[in-house]
Amino acid sequence: MSTSTSSRQEPASPSDSGFLRFQGTSGYIASRALIDAVNCAVALERPLLVKGEPGTGKTLLARHVAEGLGLPLESWHIKSTSRADDGLYVYDTVQRLNDARFGDGDVKDIRSYIRLGPLGRVFTARKRQVLLIDEIDKADLEFPNDILREIDEMRFTVMETGDEVVAKERPLVIITSNNEKELPDAFLRRCVFHFIDFPAVDQMREIIDVHHPRVESRLLEQVLVKFYWLRDQKELRKRPSTSELIDWITALLRAGADASRLESEIPFMGALLKNEQDTRAIESFRARGGKPPATFDELGGARRR
């Protein structure tokens, strides 16, 4: 009796298939989950929607993804007055009117008065780019839906000329939100989603080491204890963020502050607390004889490590 064996090809590993394209950079500490979300967006050719509280590195992520993938970065910073059409192009009627009045330029050539927006520029770029759409939740409720078609189809029409702009290379779109308002379900269905959790102490040490690699260990311990204690205060309307922590450490180092000073006070609190109610809440705590913790054990820090 003869037997035949059929060889079955093993599935390609993620690295062989090219899925794991982004591995982080030396200047950005990314969690495994965040790296996976970026690579999932790359593989699916879907926008990556990144949410999280302000100051957790959402905007900075786009710059480091571009660096890690070796791609140029285009940014579109959204304002409350931003319109979806602005991301495609703007027809500069004012310039055309001025040229008509003063005899400058060929006013018959409407194309010379079309100014491409961030989406338009990445569509016409010869090389694939990373497009950051920053703080999309600042715009009105219809804004996300208004850009859906162009992001999906990677094309749009310039109404004034009838020209169709088709993307030469599909950009990697990274969209950030501070979670200040809900985004439409239709928009969410087309995105890969990731929420950046606030860093735990060990990850925060790594982040600080990127920006301040030579902080003395006792000073760093006091900085972290005071910072996480402030974030635990329920009276605060705005808890200090990672970016504000980095600024605070910069101020401490330039002032020559040492660990013993931080054991008894929180200097340069204005780098951390950004409104008078929060400042007064901490001052009131001190006036009542309250004392911030000096160690993680006093803070209850076993749960943080």
Tell me the DSSP string of 66-96.
HHHHT--EEEEE--TT--HHHHHEEE-HHHH
Query: Could you state, in order of their start, the residue ranges of all structural domains in the chain?
Result: 14-82+117-195, 201-300
Cβ–Cβ < 8 Å for 203, 251: no
Give the closest residue to 197 by CA, choosing from 26, 32, 27, 76. 32
Q: 194 — phi, psi (to 5°)?
A: -145, 135
Q: What CATH code is assigned to 14-82+117-195?
A: 3.40.50.300
In tens, the pLDDT along 54-91 reads 889 999 999 999 999 999 999 999 999 999 999 999 99
pLDDT of residue 138: 93
Regions of the chain where pLDDT drops below 50: 1-16, 301-305
Q: What is the CA radius of gyration of the chain?
A: 25
Residue 221: other Cβ atoms inside 10 A: 18
How many angstroms from the chain centroid is the CA of residue 203?
17
| 131 in Cβ contact with 122 (< 8 Å) | yes
User: Which residues, in sequence order, are CB contacts of 119 under 8 Å at separation 6+?
Assistant: 76, 87, 88, 131, 147, 150, 151, 156
Specify the pLDDT at position 208. Answer: 95
Rounded to 10 degrees, the C-alpha dihedral 28/32/37/39 comes to: 80
Segment 175-204, tens digit of pLDDT: 999 988 889 999 999 999 999 999 999 999
What is the structure's pLDDT at 131? 97
| pTM (predicted TM-score) | 0.84
- In three-state secondary structure terms, 2 is coil
